[in-house]
Structure 1
Amino acid sequence: MESLATVIGIVHIAAAIALLNGVLTTFGQAKIAAQAIESIGRQPEAADDIRSTMFVGLAMSETSGIYGLLIAIIMLFANPLIDTLVSLL
């Protein structure tokens, strides 16, 4: 049973690291928006192209945060390694 507690503890730490991706995604999205606003301020005639590129970048970075959340949920609630360890004990 001690090994099961160790595995569950490590899984919780790994899930916290995966959720850290969501925190870092926020800073990335802020950087994308700030650079887009600065670029539009420098070249207002290219605002449409810059805006569409910004939205693609925001969507890609948001997807990264969602993947981190998905991985954390899988590790916490549907981890096949814990089921394998329980069957071995």
Structure 2
Amino acid sequence: MDLSAFYSTSTVAIAAIVTVCAAATAIGFTMLGSRFLDSIARQPELTPVLQVKMFIVAGLLDAVPMIGIGISLLLLFANPFATELLKHVK
């Protein structure tokens, strides 16, 4: 495998990871917000309890894609597979 093909394939994979992370976060926040507003409309007296739980879930929902972003940055700047490929190319 050519080294430039490896890096271009890695770049496409990183772009796919970032795109999926962004789309999944957007869909998750949309669902979370709509369910939160629906629950408040049904039972307004539970607003403080539901709001705390919504913020906790929103924090977790935002943390999970950051793992994907971290992995993609690892693959972009310090690709562990590139050293193995360089050993086999030489």
TM-score (norm 2): 0.85
- Residue type of the partner of 1:4? L
Aligned partner of 1:33 in structure 2 is 33
Q: Distance in 2 between matches of 1:54 and 1:8?
A: 40
Q: Distance in 2 between matches of 1:35 and 1:67?
A: 25
CA shift digits 1:26-71 (9 cap, x unpaired):
1211210121011111101111221111112111110122112111
Once superposed, which parts of structure 1, at least 4 consecutive aligned residues long, lie more than 3 Å away?
none
Unaligned runs of 5+ in 2: none
Q: What root-mean-square deviation, in Å, do the aligned CA atoms of Structure 1 and Structure 2 show?
A: 1.5
What CA deviation, in whole Å up to 9, does each residue of 1:3-25 have, x standing for no partner? 21221122112111210212221
Aligned length: 88
CA contact (8 A) 1:18 1:72 kept: yes
The alpha carbon displacement at 1:83 in A equals 2.1
Q: Is 1:10 the counterpart of 2:12 in the alignment?
A: no
Aligned sequence identity (%): 24
Unaligned 5+ residue runs, structure 1? none
TM-score normalized by the length of structure 1 = 0.86
1:67 pairs with 2:90: no
